[in-house]
Amino acid sequence: MAKIIGGITTSHIPAIGIAMDRGLEDTPYWKDFFAGYPPIREWLGEQKPDIAIVFYNDHGLEMFLDKKPTFAIGCAPSYDNADEGWGIATIPPVTGETELSWHIVNELIEHDFDPTVCQDIKVDHGLTVPLSLMYPGHNYQHMKVIPVCINCERHPMPKPSRCYALGQAIGKAVESFDSDQKVVVFGTGGLSHQLDGERAGIINADFDEECMNKLVSDPEALTRYSNDELVEIAGAQGVELNMWLAMRGCMLGKVREVHRNYVAPISNTGAGTQLLLNE
């Protein structure tokens, strides 16, 4: 059976990709943020996962307000990115996966989740920045990636409880896949931030800490928030916590945290990262 070997949470702020391209990791602004990544990179280097399931959100590159799947999953052999206007360089294509992804699609539909199935999509900073962070120099092409996209841009959005349940269903699908491949799961985006409107720039570091604690010990407590509550407490884009909840659902059962970092603000965002392993 395929095995989930761990879960990783990370911000996907576009400026991170630009900072890496410009070699700014050790500058005063960035150093505490990038200090959070070597332990995760080392773990990935030791474990060598075959497949990454990446819960991300598409901020408008492929799925704009005119067509917004609630949940979408990629089943393509390869994914390109494109300039979204943030100035992130075009980077090497992300390697896709076409067997476990279809197995997940079939299992999800069997268990009453009905994702949009994508055989040709571009991926935005929500997916590419985390991969570039984990594999500096854009050295991520050896790993097969299954993008799972969650609507975090246009209301109505899927509830936190539903995102957690989606993750659980995907975790069970992985467990039932006849393969000895190792799978790592990424929850991207978050934590508190709001990019526009009157409250642009709000950060709630106390809530971010609560999220990181509860993600480990009591994720179901986080699923009791509504999206409206998340917007109020953590800003309009604080709902990106939903990708972290999907990741945590995927891990099925108890986890332990082996690494954490949090810096706020980075750009406009409370930037958290964690490495979680199954007990």
Q: Which is nearer to Fe ion, 11 or 168 (CB)?
A: 11
* 3-class DSSP assignment, residue 256: strand
Which residue of the chain is nearest ligand DHB when measured via CB?
267
Kindly report the number of other CB atoms within 10 A of residue 83's CB atom: 10
Per-residue x/- mask for Fe ion, residues 176 to 205, rule CB under 5 A? -------------x----------------
CA 126 – CA 124 distance, rounded (Å): 5
As a residue count, the chain comes to 279
DSSP string, 125-150: HHHHHHHHHHSGGG--TTSEEEEEEE
Mark whether 259 is an active-site residue.
no
| Out of 4, 8, 15, 75, the residue judged to bind ligand DHB by CB under 6 A | 15
Q: Is 263 in the site for ligand DHB (CB under 6 A)?
A: no
Q: Is 189 in the site for ligand DHB (CB under 6 A)?
A: yes
Q: What are phi and psi of 45, to 5 degrees?
A: -65, -35
Q: Which is nearer to ligand DHB, 9 or 268 (CB)?
A: 268
Q: Is 7 in the site for ligand DHB (CB under 6 A)?
A: no
Q: Which two tokens stand for residue 111?
A: 């268990």
Q: Is 193 in the site for ligand DHB (CB under 6 A)?
A: yes
Mark whether 125 is an active-site residue.
yes
| Out of 13, 20, 146, 276, the residue judged to bind ligand DHB by CB under 6 A | 13
Q: Is 144 in the site for ligand DHB (CB under 6 A)?
A: no
DSSP 89: P
Longest dimension (CA), the chain: 51
Instruction: Give me the least distance between CB of 14 and ligand DHB, in Å please.
Output: 5
Catalytic residue among 125, 142, 155, 259: 125
Q: Is 141 in the site for ligand DHB (CB under 6 A)?
A: no
Q: Is 249 in the site for ligand DHB (CB under 6 A)?
A: no
Estimate to the nearest angstrom the gap between the alpha carbon of 122 and the chain centroid: 16
- ω into residue 191 within 30 of 0, thus cis? yes
| Out of 269, 272, 274, 275, the residue judged to bind ligand DHB by CB under 6 A | 269
Strand-pair partners of 134: none
Q: Is 274 in the site for ligand DHB (CB under 6 A)?
A: no
Contact call for residues 71 and 166 (beta carbons, < 8 A): yes
Locate the DSSP E strands across the chain.
3-10, 51-56, 71-74, 78-79, 94-95, 116-118, 144-150, 182-188, 255-266, 269-278
Catalytic residue among 12, 111, 193, 259: 193
Q: Which is nearer to ligand DHB, 198 or 279 (CB)?
A: 198
Residues of the shown chain interacting with ligand DHB in the complex, contacts defined by CB under 6 A: 12-15, 59, 189, 193, 195, 237, 240, 267-269
Q: Which residues are catalytic?
A: 125, 193
Residues that bind Fe ion (CB under 5 A): 189
